[in-house]
Structure 1
Amino acid sequence: MYINGAFMKELYLAGGPYYGLQEVFSRVKGVARVRAGFANCSREAPSKEDIYSGKAEGRECIQIIYNPKKIDIVSLLSLFFTVINPYTDGIQGKAVGPQYRSGIYYTSHEDTMQISYYLIFLQNRGITRPMTDAAVVFNEFEGEGGRRPPVRTEMKPLENFYEAPEEEQFYLRKHPHAYTPIHIDLLEELGTIGKAENERK
């Protein structure tokens, strides 16, 4: 797709409440647009209540439109696995439920090799390189006998994506005290992400 004459790619990421991921990736250089919604749903245009009640299967998810000349998919995945827990099935911090399962959903088969390689790297090498000695990630694991648990982040082609209502978009900016397991302030302090749009000069 093209936006303002520039070629753009898209990627869909799920991992916990979508508003935390939306806030993080909207502040990344090279990302042109981020929308919160629901991916791979079993019902057309489901409401949030449909997802939470189980009437419609689906994941809370964000759509990322990015400029591949400014940021690549590996950088996006590296940030993604820094802020989510890939070793749990439907648990991200205090957010528990099948709608919170982590996932990577792609629309282009040319991305599958890079995504697959990254998941293999994650399984073999563990969590992504910490940015500082401070605990930016919360995805520590406790293995028995030094065993690493399997990565449970699913990788699937995107079947559908339905945007959340407008009042749910950039929810943390409207409700700054809402719960998110992601340490957004620390990411901003480290310079990993920029300031929120309404804070920029």
Structure 2
Amino acid sequence: MTERQVATFGGGCFWGVEAGFRKCDGVLETVVGYAGGTMETPTYEDVCSGASGHAEVVRVVFDPARVSYRDLLETFWTIHDPTQRNRQGPDVGAQYRSIILYHTNEQRDEATEVVRALTDCGRFGAAIETEILPVGSFWRAEDYHQNYLEKKGQAVCRIPRET
């Protein structure tokens, strides 16, 4: 039986983030949803209004024998711009913030270490705005959001990094 671990990331519209992780060998499943806020059972409209405090996120179920958490972190940096605060390109609002929601102390430590190393080397040329918080409650998004780009026949939903 394959060991399964879970990681949760938010970096703008969850459709593009999900599509980026679905391409990773070792990712077994993705689920888009809402986390990082205070409202119980939020809807998409609640999250878009800003009233919930939640971010659009992707829960990634992965096989650590095939892909490491550090590899997932590297993918995360390539599918969004971690230097933008509460936005990704034209999508503006706290629901689009860059966020890593850790499930274990090991994930917290590794994410913190990687952010520190990226900051020290100046990889992005600006401050990294990514929040690192415990996962708390995860609310699965409505069915029509799941695998949205795949259903629409689109490969990516990337927003170019602004310079």
**Structure 2 length as normaliser, TM-score?**
0.91
Alpha-carbon distance in 2 for matches of 1:95, 1:178: 19
- Aligned to 2:19, what secondary structure does the other structure show? helix
What are the superposed Cα offsets for residues 126-177 of structure 1, whole Å, 9 maximum, x if unpaired? 33xxxxxxxxxxxx6xxxxxxx432110000011111111111111123346
Alpha-carbon distance in 1 for matches of 2:156, 2:96: 14
Aligned Cα RMSD in Å? 1.8
Q: What amino acid sits opposite 1:123 in the alignment? A: T
Alpha-carbon distance in 2 for matches of 1:177, 1:160: 30
CA 182–72 in structure 1, closer or farther in 2 if over 3 Å, else same: farther
Alpha-carbon distance in 2 for matches of 1:81, 1:126: 13
Alpha-carbon distance in 2 for matches of 1:91, 1:57: 14
What are the superposed Cα offsets for residues 93-129 of structure 1, whole Å, 9 maximum, x if unpaired? 22111100001001111222211110001111133xx
Higher Rg of the two aligned structures: 1
2:47 corresponds to 1:80: no
**Structure 1 length as normaliser, TM-score?**
0.74
- In structure 1, the partner of 2:158 is 181
Alpha-carbon distance in 1 for matches of 2:75, 2:56: 18
Range with greater deviation from structure 2 (62-71 or 111-120): 111-120
- In structure 2, the partner of 1:150 is 127
- In structure 1, the partner of 2:3 is 7
Structure 1 runs of 4+ with >6 Å offset: none
Answer whether contact 2:20 2:156 (CA < 8 A) is retained. Answer: no
Q: Return the match for 2:21 from 25, 47, 63.
A: 25
Answer whether contact 2:19 2:155 (CA < 8 A) is retained. Answer: no
Aligned residues: 160
2:31 corresponds to 1:35: yes
Percent identical among aligned pairs is 28
Answer whether contact 1:94 1:181 (CA < 8 A) is retained. Answer: no
- Aligned to 1:6, what secondary structure does the other structure show? coil
2:33 corresponds to 1:16: no
Q: Return the match for 1:114 from 110, 114, 118.
A: 110
